[in-house]
Amino acid sequence: MVFETRKDKGRAGMALGIAYFGANGYTVNVPLNDTQWYDFIVEKDGKFETVQCKATGSKDGAIDFRSTGGTDGGMYDNMKNHPIDYLFCVNQNGIMYCIPVKDIPNANGIKLRTEPNVNKQGFDTCKYIVTL
């Protein structure tokens, strides 16, 4: 996937996340604004869970949990500061990951991997790969 802007990345991540959860029997609830700390809420069998979506166009599959911006481009928040249940990610090749946030180590980001780590360093994201 080629993302020309950050908005393109955001739209792709959220669209694929909605498609994944919807195709797997969840009811997807999308908020009317974008000021909350999650992208949407899913419900299945009476259980509600929050989902944050991220997409990356980087070759190394880096996903940053920090939110940056404003006039100085500084960090103003971190996804790990909020009670999110799932992190849904997609890389530049369209490979999707659905990761329970409770499994993610306390870090400012992860790298999406398609193969297990041979040196056992870093978070092994390949076991969270999903398909539609």
Question: Over the stretch 80-114, which tens digit does the pLDDT of each residue have?
Answer: 778 899 999 999 999 999 999 999 987 788 999 99
pLDDT of 53: 94
Please indicate, yes or no, if residue 115 is contained in any of the structural domains.
yes
- pTM given for the model: 0.89
- Kindly state the greatest CA–CA separation across the chain: 44
Q: In CATH, what number is assigned to the domain containing residue 99? A: 3.40.1350.10
Number of domains in the chain: 1
Please indicate, yes or no, if residue 1 is contained in any of the structural domains.
no
| Containing structural domain, residue 103 | 6-130
Q: How far is CA 60 from CA 3, 31, 35, 112, in A?
A: 15, 31, 29, 7
